[in-house]
């Protein structure tokens, strides 16, 4: 009975994706009813196959750019392709997913009075002139480049979230997610962690784009999901935007060397051209998350790479 009263009906858009599937698992374990919504553009049923028989799990094939009428208490809006290869495949659809998707989910939240979480991104800072990036930094984003469909789509979604709060009093939660990795990343989405691990396991050349001195900060998925849940459960007055990421900063050369070491790979490092508008450095300032959510990532890069490598080993063997 006590469990019943604490059970919330939670909608997770993009629930069959990398982060979404981990979030479904976490919230089911916490005793909630989950509606996992996905159009399977980049997500796959494999990610949630183990949850399909759970009595409190429901899978719904739907595209967030179309209206949706369900009754829920909370919405986590994660639907959006996240890797450059995928979001640039159909850039118009990417913007629609971020913008129309946000409008529909905010409309749903307004009608049901649900609390609503937005998976925003460090890409809202673009190629930053401020380092590390605090939430108060407005960013340096190219509005007309190949990454703009994603960056500007996510920026507009943030605008919509804050306007729905100002105009309609919605309870919103906006997380700016920095590069996250872990099991269930796509093996061929072109992201650096998945690329390097797959290349290393196959003893193929590891591809450094540019000179490999650009930096990123990598957060393990379990740490990130803990941050999501803390933000959603934080005081109503705390809306974010709040950075969620691991402040440990590495060059791509350092990442390649670590992956090589952990896999015992014979791969050589080779250089390929740097993609357009590729940010030179990125590191979250997590002061706000620490103060407001008492959240701090606990998993070090090497600790998180190990289960990720095991996941890719299994995946490659199964193929
Ligand atoms: P992902 O591609 O694995 O997941 C996105 C999911 O959304 C997929 O299952 C996809 O099929 C679904 N989707 C896409 N368009 C949709 C639509 N129109 N309607 C319904 N479903 C749709 O990516 P991810 O890494 O799990 O990212 C999840 C969210 O987190 C995204 O919004 C992304 O922008 C954000 N994010 C992720 C990272 C990261 O490092 N993984 C960093 C910053 C932000
Ligand atoms: N919407 C939805 N589900 C709902 C309520 C609204 O998908 O339960 C969509 C609806 O199609 C609308 C959008 O959300 O286009 C924005 O809704 P809102 O009420 O803010 O705007 P309005 O309907 O007044 O345009
Ligand atoms: N990168 C790389 N080799 C690869 C894939 C990516 O050197 O095989 C670089 C890429 O140029 C970028 C960094 O790794 O500087 C992170 O790329 P990713 O696409 O994972 O994330 P994002 O650029 O969105 O942070």
Model confidence band, residue 269 (pLDDT cutoffs 50, 70, 90):
very high
Q: What is the pLDDT of residue 263?
A: 98
Task: State the distance from the centre of ligand 2 to the C-alpha of 39, rounded, in angstroms.
Answer: 19
What pTM, to 2 d.p., does this model score? 0.96
Q: Which residue has the higher pLDDT, 128 or 149?
A: 149
Collapsing DSSP to helix, strand or coil, 75 comes out as strand
Q: What's the confidence (pLDDT) of residue 1?
A: 44
Tens digits of residue pLDDT in 249-267: 999 999 999 999 999 999 9
Q: Domain 7-318 is in which class?
A: alpha beta
* Residue 191: per-residue pLDDT: 94
Ligand nearest to the CA of 112: 2
> Nearest-CA neighbor of 72 among 292, 232, 235?
232
Tell me how crowded residue 184 is: count the other CB atoms within 10 A of its CB.
20
- DSSP secondary-structure letter at 313? H
Residue 244 Cβ contacting ligand 1 at under 6 Å: no
Percent above pLDDT 70 for the chain: 98
- What are the residue numbers of the active site? 150
Residue 3 has pLDDT above 60, yes or no: no
Check pocket membership of 217 for ligand 3, CB cut-off 6 A: no
Widest distance between CA atoms in the chain: 60
For residues 54 and 26, is the Cβ–Cβ distance under 8 A?
Answer: no
d(CA 193, CA 195): 6
- Does any ligand 3 atom lie closer than 6 A to the CB of residue 100? no
Name the nearest CA neighbour of 103 among 155, 65, 49, 141.
Answer: 65
CA of 103 to the centre of ligand 2 (A): 7
pLDDT computed for residue 5 by the predictor: 59
Query: Does the beta carbon of 195 sit less than 6 angstroms from any atom of ligand 3?
Result: yes
Identify whether the C-beta of residue 176 lies closer than 8 Å to the C-beta of residue 244.
Answer: yes
pLDDT in tens, 77-126: 999 999 999 999 999 999 999 999 999 999 999 999 999 999 999 999 99
Q: Whose CA is nearest to atom 11 of ligand 3?
A: 209
Is residue 129 over pLDDT 50?
yes
Distance CA 268, CA 283 (A): 27
Tell me what the pLDDT averaged over the chain comes to.
96
- Residue 94 CA: nearest ligand 1 atom is 15
User: What pLDDT digit, counting tens, does each position of 36-87 carry?
Assistant: 999 999 999 999 999 999 999 999 999 999 999 999 999 999 999 999 999 9
For position 319, what pLDDT does the model report?
81
Q: Is 261 left (phi over 0), alpha (psi -120 to 50) or beta?
A: alpha
Q: What is the pLDDT of residue 6?
A: 77
95 lines ligand 3 (CB under 6 A): no
**pLDDT at res. 4:** 55
Ligand 2 centroid–CA 191 distance in Å is 34
Report strand pairing: 215-217 vs 249-251: antiparallel
The whole-number pLDDT of residue 2 equals 47
Span 176-198, pLDDT tens digits? 999 999 999 999 889 999 999 99
What is the pLDDT averaged over residues 127-138? 94
Pocket of ligand 2 (CB under 6 A): 67-69, 103-104, 107-108, 110-111
The answer, yes or no, to whether any atom of ligand 1 lies below 6 A from the CB of 104, is no
């Amino acid at each position: 009975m006590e469990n019943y009263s604490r059970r919330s009906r939670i909608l997770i858009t993009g629930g069959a994706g990398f982060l979404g599937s981990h979030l479904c698992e976490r919230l089911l374990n916490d005793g909630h009813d989950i509606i996992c919504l996905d159009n399977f553009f980049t997500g796959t049923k494999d990610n949630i196959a183990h949850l399909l028989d759970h009595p409190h799990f429901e899978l719904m094939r739907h595209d967030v750019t179309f209206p949706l009428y369900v009754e829920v208490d909370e919405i986590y809006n994660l639907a959006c392709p996240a890797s450059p290869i995928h979001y640039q495949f159909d850039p118009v659809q990417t913007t629609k997913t971020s913008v129309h998707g946000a409008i529909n989910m905010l409309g749903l939240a307004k009608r049901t009075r649900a609390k609503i979480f937005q998976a925003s991104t460090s890409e809202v800072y673009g190629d930053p002139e401020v380092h590390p990036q605090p939430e108060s930094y407005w960013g340096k984003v190219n509005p007309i480049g190949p990454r703009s469909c994603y960056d500007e789509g996510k920026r507009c979604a943030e605008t919509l979230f804050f306007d729905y709060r100002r105009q309609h009093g919605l309870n919103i939660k906006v997380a700016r997610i920095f590069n996250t990795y872990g099991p269930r990343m796509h093996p061929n989405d072109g992201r650096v962690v998945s690329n390097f691990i797959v290349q290393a396991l196959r003893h193929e050349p590891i591809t450094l784009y540019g000179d490999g001195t650009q930096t990123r900060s990598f957060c393990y998925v379990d740490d990130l999901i803990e941050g999501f849940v803390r933000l959603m459960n934080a005081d109503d007055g705390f809306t974010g935007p709040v950075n969620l990421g691991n402040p440990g900063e590495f060059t791509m050369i350092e990442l390649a060397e670590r992956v090589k070491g952990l896999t015992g790979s014979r791969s050589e490092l080779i250089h390929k051209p740097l993609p357009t508008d590729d940010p030179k450095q990125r590191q979250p300032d997590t002061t706000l998350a620490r103060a407001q959510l008492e959240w701090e990532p606990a998993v070090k890069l090497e600790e998180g790479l190990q289960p990720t490598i095991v996941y890719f080993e299994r995946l490659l063997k199964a193929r």
